[in-house]
Structure 1
Amino acid sequence: MLVAAVPLPTYNQVTKHNLVQMQPLIVLLLKQAAFIALDAEFTGLGHNMAATRASDIQDRYQHLCGLARSHALVAFGLSIFIKDQSSSSASDTDQTDGTTSSQHVYNVHNFNFSMLSETDYAVSPRSMIFLAENGLDLNQWIMEGIPYSGGDRQANDGGRGNSNGIMRSIFKRIMTRQVPVVVHNGFLDLIFLYHSFYAALPPKLGTFVADLSDMFPAGLYDTKYISDYITRERSSFLAYLYRKYERDDLCARDADDPSSLKKSFSTFKVQPRLSLPTVEDKVIPETELLEGQVAFCQDYAFHGVCKKNMRCGKSHDLDLILDAEEEQRDSKKRKKQKRRHDTRETGDGAEALSEKSEGASSEAPAITAGTNEAKTATTTAMPAPMTSIARTAENVVQPGEKFHSAYFDAFMTGTIFSHQLNQHTLELIEGQAKSKIYLIGKNFPLMVEKSAFSKYSAEHERQRAL
């Protein structure tokens, strides 16, 4: 049966320019989440593809950790599924056989974080071509990606202007939300996200698993594992499951379909892009740029190089630097002229001032006399030119959206999870799939639970104590 495809969902593009403004909005939405879906895109899988499927899981884990350390996160997809309280689940009972249909309505917010590693990393040309063909704007990624450094090197404080801290703060909010966190074939995704936003990867798989079990107390769910071992689908790759379930839900909503009364289905209200609060440009006089409120980077102004690079936060605009230098020279010149003018007024100009006070007709000559001095005084009194140094953050998505990207993979993963909950009870899915991550080439999952013989990593212990 031919069923029309639903248009691609809208999403919020998060870059280094709007991350600070997006953070409180994302945190607010996370507080309302029924469940959360994640996806990660990275710069490649290295040359030794066989090692990613190593028979020994510890060996496989160590190889994948090496990939996460040597490669970089390109994009992080986040989909937040919120139960629509105004459209609570509706149920209708078929009088003939007693079967019930129910509709579950979710408001969905999608986010695509452009990530740019500040440390050197390897790139697989084949992987980057694949990402570019599926919507990754390489120019936007380089120019607007959120700077980050993996491992333990950055404070986990979420401070203003500290992109590492902000991303780690958002990730920690996801961890502590106490709702299901959903991935699809997510072993490598979790390794990359742990390394990028949480801590240095521990050498032992048991330690990593122990950390994950404590980081996600409400459970990790892998839709690929569910589709292979619980719902028993013929195929379980992401796009296949998404389209199949999309067709099923569309048919279930069709009132003319008699079988619709025997199905439970979900409706997803994908929310429009968030409107960011307007940022008023901070405008300061150019004379103040050299008096502690420096809008341009002094290192760059003197040496043409800035060690902080993208993290600098100050302008490397040469025109702004040259304008400020000219303003400084003009300011010094005006000060010298004013000093000369003041000296003449207190000395040779005393008699003229006396005449001005005595004769009423002397006011007119005073305006025309000393024309240069009058001009100097006027110039000094004029307000300094104003320079805008702030950039208004935007939430703009570039054209070229394709079927495969971090935000869309996260969205597909979440909708598949919802359908799987509809196929079975929440209790069954939780009992059979909670904290079980799919392992390629294995007929058993990775059990995300702390062993009695494993310990938490030192970094996780430190963060637990915060």
Structure 2
Amino acid sequence: MNILPIPKPLPSVPLYNDINKNNLFELQLIINHIIDSSSLISLDTEFTGLGRISDGIRAQNLEERYKALKNVVSKYALVAFGLSLFLKSNKSKEDPNCIQFHNHSFNFLMLSQHDYLQSSKSMKFLIENGFDFNTQALKGIPYIPGENKRLNDNNPLTEYNNVMRRIFNRILRRARKVPIVVHNGLMDLMFLYQSFFSPLPDKLDVFLADLAKMFPTGIYDTKYIADYVIRESSSFLSYLFRKEERMQLYNKDIKKSEYIKCFIKKRIQCMEQLKKEKVKLKRPLDTGKIYCEQYAAHGFCIFGKECTKTHDLDVILDEQMKEKQKPSKRKRRKDRKKMKQTDESNESSQINENEIVDSLIIFEDQDLQNQADIPENNTPVTSNNNSKILNTNQVIVKNFETYHSAYFDAFMTGYVFCCQCIESEEKILNSDHANKLYVIGKSIPLLIRTSPYTKNSEQCLKILETI
């Protein structure tokens, strides 16, 4: 079997801290301490609905689109908040090309105290990706979106709501010195603003001016960078992440380029251990391409779990690399025969030491058994077909089937951004690539800036004065 020129790293599920109402009070101080020491803050959210196109959420006029999205944010709810904190280390003298980061990731399970809508499509998506609504109802952190009013002291929800707002304010304080990173993050920022800061302004210009004031060091959107700066062929998050894992090992091997090594910090000791979950993946059809072309292009598939072709990003990347090396025209019969042989070869030699190598995402201070304990909720699930446990002295994990969850999306976003910073010919940091958000259906980004003719909202200025 041909050895690919770019190595395939060991898949790595990052450890994370599951924050719920049972441990929020206990962990708030250490969370704030880690925020204060971070070099990069990456954010992601999960919510109960995206709204309908007919309601104007894709309107060409951005002011009309903002009003439609504001209506969505007010009717639906944030259910998970992913926070991934990266601390950059000094370069080692032994390997000056290695850029090291230490990472802590947190998944805040949230429960809005306002009545809200739930989209059936969003519920299906969340459940398929491991979200447990029963756990949310029992352990979700109560919060009150909108105006930052202090509740009656006799109300038990008061302190939960106040603690989450204090953590968000801590992020805003740190954002004066370090960048904030999102991926296609307009809706994420709107939900965070509404949930933990203040009611969304009525006008888009005021909202953008508030964001510029809240995050003065800059907001970076990895989807915008992938599409408009680096010009990636696909720019959905999990594709970028898996591709960057390969590229970092390639850069390390050639010993001529800088590369990223990320050390995943152990879970905070008081965290609860959740059970594992295993989900079967159906075998792909042996006709045409063996992977789902829609998923390869956009990161989603209309058939979801019922799709008969694989969504495995390693398979997609392998096949795309092979396609580039082959003539553009090939006979279907010959393709089917080769794909059948490839499937048989994969089954017999799934763990080939010459093809699968260690990842540069490394787990620190955690024994093998704890590293293998991948929590049930909000965790990428694995395929039972054609997958064997990969065992190294670093970690025991299985290959990914799905990637979506707030903490993992936040981690991937931060990791991809670190890689983009060293791979792009243009300087990403301290450049005009900051404060540009990707907008679906638009050829230009949405600029986060303060207009000479726009004032910040009074509530924004009032809150920031207290931080």
TM interval, shorter chain, is: 0.5 to 0.7
- Other-structure match for 1:46: 51
User: Does the 8 Å contact 1:15/1:145 carry over to 2?
Assistant: yes
| Superposition map of 1:246-261 within 5 A | 246-254=245-253, 260-261=254-255
- Other-structure match for 2:203: 204
Deviation at 1:176, TM superposition (A): 1.5
User: 1:40 is matched by which residue type in structure 2?
Assistant: T
- Other-structure match for 2:280: none
1:176-230, Cα deviation, whole Å (9 max, x unpaired): 2120000000011100000000000110011111110010011100000111111
User: Does the 8 Å contact 1:12/1:396 carry over to 2?
Assistant: no
User: Does the 8 Å contact 2:18/2:271 carry over to 1?
Assistant: no
| Superposition map of 1:337-376 within 5 A | none
User: 1:401 is matched by which residue type in structure 2?
Assistant: T
CA–CA distance in structure 1, aligned partners of residues 187 and 227 of structure 2: 18
- Other-structure match for 1:462: 462
User: 2:113 is matched by which residue type in structure 1?
Assistant: E
| Superposition map of 1:334-413 within 5 A | 397-398=375-376, 401-402=379-380, 403-413=403-413
Judged with a 3 Å threshold, the aligned counterparts in structure 2 of structure 1 residues 400 and 438 are, in CA distance, closer, same or farther, namely closer
1:268 aligns with 2:267: no
User: Does the 8 Å contact 1:20/1:161 carry over to 2?
Assistant: no
Deviation at 1:428, TM superposition (A): 4.3
User: Does the 8 Å contact 2:81/2:108 carry over to 1?
Assistant: yes
User: 2:418 is matched by which residue type in structure 1?
Assistant: S
- Other-structure match for 1:448: 448
- Other-structure match for 1:115: 110
Counterpart of 2:141 (choices 141, 146, 166) is 146
Judged with a 3 Å threshold, the aligned counterparts in structure 2 of structure 1 residues 19 and 426 are, in CA distance, closer, same or farther, namely farther
1:188 aligns with 2:187: yes
Judged with a 3 Å threshold, the aligned counterparts in structure 2 of structure 1 residues 75 and 90 are, in CA distance, closer, same or farther, namely farther
User: 1:212 is matched by which residue type in structure 2?
Assistant: L
Deviation at 1:445, TM superposition (A): 1.1
1:68 aligns with 2:73: yes
- Other-structure match for 1:222: 221
User: 2:19 is matched by which residue type in structure 1?
Assistant: V
% identical aligned pairs: 42
CA–CA distance in structure 2, aligned partners of residues 9 and 449 of structure 1: 34
User: Does the 8 Å contact 2:184/2:439 carry over to 1?
Assistant: yes
- Other-structure match for 1:176: 173
CA–CA distance in structure 1, aligned partners of residues 183 and 271 of structure 2: 34
CA–CA distance in structure 2, aligned partners of residues 90 and 234 of structure 1: 36
1:21 aligns with 2:16: no
CA–CA distance in structure 2, aligned partners of residues 418 and 207 of structure 1: 30
Structure 1, gaps ≥5 residues long? 93-100, 255-259, 279-394
Judged with a 3 Å threshold, the aligned counterparts in structure 2 of structure 1 residues 236 and 181 are, in CA distance, closer, same or farther, namely same
User: Does the 8 Å contact 1:36/1:181 carry over to 2?
Assistant: yes
CA–CA distance in structure 2, aligned partners of residues 408 and 421 of structure 1: 20
Structure 2, gaps ≥5 residues long? 273-372, 381-402
- Other-structure match for 1:345: none
Deviation at 1:64, TM superposition (A): 0.7
User: Does the 8 Å contact 2:143/2:157 carry over to 1?
Assistant: no
Judged with a 3 Å threshold, the aligned counterparts in structure 2 of structure 1 residues 173 and 137 are, in CA distance, closer, same or farther, namely same
Judged with a 3 Å threshold, the aligned counterparts in structure 2 of structure 1 residues 160 and 57 are, in CA distance, closer, same or farther, namely closer
Secondary structure in 1 matching 2:432: helix
User: Does the 8 Å contact 2:49/2:118 carry over to 1?
Assistant: yes
Judged with a 3 Å threshold, the aligned counterparts in structure 2 of structure 1 residues 438 and 163 are, in CA distance, closer, same or farther, namely same
Judged with a 3 Å threshold, the aligned counterparts in structure 2 of structure 1 residues 162 and 396 are, in CA distance, closer, same or farther, namely farther
CA–CA distance in structure 1, aligned partners of residues 45 and 407 of structure 2: 9
Judged with a 3 Å threshold, the aligned counterparts in structure 2 of structure 1 residues 236 and 24 are, in CA distance, closer, same or farther, namely same
Aligned residues: 335
1:313-333, Cα deviation, whole Å (9 max, x unpaired): xxxxxxxxxxxxxxxxxxxxx
CA–CA distance in structure 2, aligned partners of residues 465 and 33 of structure 1: 22
User: Does the 8 Å contact 2:83/2:105 carry over to 1?
Assistant: yes
- Other-structure match for 1:355: none
4+ aligned runs moved over 4 Å, structure 1: 89-92, 158-161, 425-428
Deviation at 1:6, TM superposition (A): 2.2
CA–CA distance in structure 2, aligned partners of residues 413 and 277 of structure 1: 24
Secondary structure in 1 matching 2:97: strand
Counterpart of 1:129 (choices 113, 119, 124) is 124
User: 2:261 is matched by which residue type in structure 1?
Assistant: T
CA–CA distance in structure 1, aligned partners of residues 39 and 413 of structure 2: 14
User: Does the 8 Å contact 1:154/1:164 carry over to 2?
Assistant: no
User: Does the 8 Å contact 1:9/1:408 carry over to 2?
Assistant: yes
Judged with a 3 Å threshold, the aligned counterparts in structure 2 of structure 1 residues 399 and 150 are, in CA distance, closer, same or farther, namely closer
- Other-structure match for 1:81: 86
Higher helix proportion: 1
Deviation at 1:90, TM superposition (A): 5.2
TM-score (norm 2): 0.68
1:234 aligns with 2:236: no
Name which of structure 1's ranges 405-414 and 5-14 shifts more when overlaid on structure 2: 5-14
Deviation at 1:446, TM superposition (A): 1.2
Deviation at 1:115, TM superposition (A): 0.5
1:397-423, Cα deviation, whole Å (9 max, x unpaired): 446721210000000000000001111
User: Does the 8 Å contact 1:38/1:76 carry over to 2?
Assistant: yes
Deviation at 1:396, TM superposition (A): 10
User: Does the 8 Å contact 2:51/2:57 carry over to 1?
Assistant: no
- Other-structure match for 2:306: none
Deviation at 1:4, TM superposition (A): 3.6
